[in-house]
Amino acid sequence: MLHIVNKSPGERATLASCLAHVRPGHSVLLIEDAVYAATKGHAAAGTVEAALATAKVYVLMPDLEARARAGAVIDGVVPVDYRGFVDLVTQNPRVQSWL
């Protein structure tokens, strides 16, 4: 299953809600303002690192580049482009957007 989060953890609790429902083998994709959570030194980085123990975490690089944080991706988080986003949707049998 693919979980998509699009809001900064500083604005909404959607990342936390998402991570509370991630099961082993699931994938989490951070897009739009949620990409900040995938950067080193962010207050939410710890929760993302913890999620990496059981799930895969991806970050949409075009969104991170736009926000000047492309150089700060947490180790273990996989950068993807829109093509990678498409592949994640096709590889996972179901998708939940945590809006």
Sites of contact with other proteins (CB under 8 A): 1, 4, 6, 13, 17, 20-23, 31-33, 62-63, 81-83, 85-87, 89-90, 93-99
**By C-beta, is 50 or 81 nearer to other proteins?**
81
Q: CA nearest 55: which of 76, 84, 73, 38?
A: 76
Q: Where are the beta strands (DSSP E) in 1-99?
A: 2-5, 27-30, 56-60, 78-80, 95-98
40 vs 97 by CB, closer to other proteins: 97
Smallest distance from other proteins to CB 49, Å: 20
- In whole angstroms, the minimum distance from the beta carbon of 56 to other proteins comes to 15
Rounded least distance, CB 34 to other proteins, Å: 11
User: Cβ–Cβ contacts within 10 Å for residue 68, how many?
Assistant: 8
What DSSP element (H or E) covers 74?
none
Task: Say which amino acid occupies 59.
Answer: V
Residue in the block written with tokens 């736009």: 66
Nearer to other proteins, 23 or 75 (CB): 23
